[in-house]
Amino acid sequence: MKKGGTTKQEQRKRIEQLIGFIVNFRYATRKQLETFIQLIMNLSYFRRLIDYVVRHGFVKVCYVPSFKTRIYYLTKKSKESICGKEAYIEQYHFEKRYAGINTFDHHNMLVDSYFLLKSHLDIKSWECEWVLRIGKSKGDKIPDGLMILPSDLRIAIEVETSYKTREAWKTVIELYRYDIEDVLTYHGVLVVAATRDDYAGIKTKLSSLDPDFCGEKFILSDLGMLELGMCFYQDKLIHLEEAFKLLEGVK
Mean pLDDT of 43-50: 90
Q: Which residues of 189-220 are buried (b: 16+ CB within 10 A; e: fewer)?
A: bbbbbbeeebbebbbebbeebbeebbebbbbb
DSSP E strands in 121-228: the ranges are 125-128, 145-148, 154-160, 188-193, 218-222
pLDDT value of residue 2: 47
Is pLDDT at 8 greater than 90 in this prediction?
A: no
Q: What phi-psi label fits residue 68: left (phi over 0), alpha (psi between -120 and 50 degrees) or beta?
A: left
How does the average pLDDT of the chain come out, rounded? 92
Is pLDDT at 162 greater than 50 in this prediction?
A: yes
pLDDT in tens, 202-222: 999 999 999 999 999 999 999
pLDDT in tens, 169-194: 999 999 999 999 999 999 999 999 99
Of residues 244 and 98, more confidence is placed in 244
Is pLDDT at 90 greater than 70 in this prediction?
A: yes
| 3-class DSSP state of 238 | strand
Put simply, whether the predicted model's pTM sits higher than 0.85 gets the answer yes
Under a CB-based contact definition with an 8 Å cutoff, are residues 245 and 148 in contact?
A: no
Is pLDDT at 76 greater than 60 in this prediction?
A: yes
